[in-house]
Amino acid sequence: MTLTLASALALLAYALAAWRGHGAQAMPWLGLGWAAQAVALLVDIGGLGDGAAGARFGVGPALSLTVWLVMAVALLEGRMLPLEALRRPLALLAAAAVALAWTLPGQSHQASSPWAPLHWALGLASYGLVGAAVLHAWLMQRAEAHLRSARPAVGPGLPLLRLERLTFQYVAGSVVVLGAALALGAWFSPRWQWDHKTVFALLSWGVLAALWLGRWRLGWRGRQAARWVYFGSALLLLSYAGSRFVLQVLLGRSV
């Protein structure tokens, strides 16, 4: 019941934020939607009222938590960067994520080790960091396109150098956090499994680490860096969310 109410409130708030569009009147509705989505995630992932021990995960909650973390970053940085144009797309994306998590709730997972909850938290945090990197890479490309275009930008411009610095800060954070999640999982797991989730996660980490090294050693930036961010994020999306979508939705298996 709590999950239903929180999800419905989040959907309503995000819909009103999208309807308000670019104006400052959208901010209170975005904040309300973000808070209601947090409650829905706590109820769903925590399994409150479910009666089963352990955390609950699935493709819906994982993607919803990723968007929630990206929304948190956007709300915080909205005080420093002109992100008005992002309010409607973010509200629509968050509403879709809430609806997906409501339709595909998490399934109970027993912790195989005392370190398993930390492994799960690091993995989900890496999704949020990569999502924030994707957001800033897109903003970076948008700012660069305005600089290259002869047409004047509408409204305040986005600071390209600051966006570039933030993009690579999130990339570096995702490399550290995702690497820690993979190392921790390999350490406490009784047997290492080369399944789709592990392979795609390792490939994603390799792409993001190569991007970070390329930035440090070769000065990669701009469109080239953005493409690497998108490619690494796509691989990470395929690792957990993608494999769980195939198993949970297409094959109908309990995961």
Predicted pLDDT at 130: 94
Predicted pLDDT at 13: 93
Predicted pLDDT at 154: 42
Contacts of 227 (CB under 8 A, 6+ apart): none
Predicted pLDDT at 54: 56
- pTM value is 0.81
**How many Å apart are CA 228 and CA 1, to the nearest integer?**
42
**How many Å apart are CA 137 and CA 230, to the nearest integer?**
8
The answer to whether the beta carbons of residues 72 and 34 sit under 8 Å apart is yes
Residue 127 CA to its chain's centroid (Å) = 5
Mean pLDDT score, 91-100: 92
Predicted pLDDT at 32: 93
Predicted pLDDT at 155: 44
Instruction: Tell me the pLDDT tens digit for each residue of 105-161.
Output: 767 666 566 667 788 788 889 999 999 999 999 988 888 887 777 554 444 456 788
- 93 HSE (CA, 13 A, CB side): 16
Contacts of 60 (CB under 8 A, 6+ apart): 44, 100, 101, 102, 103, 104, 105, 106
Which among 41, 118, 99, 60 is positioned nearest to 255, based on CA atoms?
A: 60
Structure tokens at 241: 């969310």
Mean pLDDT score, 87-116: 80
The segment with the largest mean pLDDT, out of 38-52, 182-196, 201-215, is 201-215
Predicted pLDDT at 115: 66
More confident residue, 207 or 50: 207
Count of residues in the chain:
255
Predicted pLDDT at 24: 66
Predicted pLDDT at 52: 54
The answer to whether the beta carbons of residues 248 and 104 sit under 8 Å apart is yes
Structure tokens at 125: 């945090």
At residue 10, the 3 state secondary structure works out as helix
The answer to whether the beta carbons of residues 171 and 208 sit under 8 Å apart is yes
Contacts of 210 (CB under 8 A, 6+ apart): 228
- The H-assigned helical ranges of 56-195 are 59-77, 87-103, 116-148, 160-188
Whether 46 shows a pLDDT value over 80: the answer reads no
- Lowest-pLDDT range, 114-123, 188-197, 234-243? 188-197
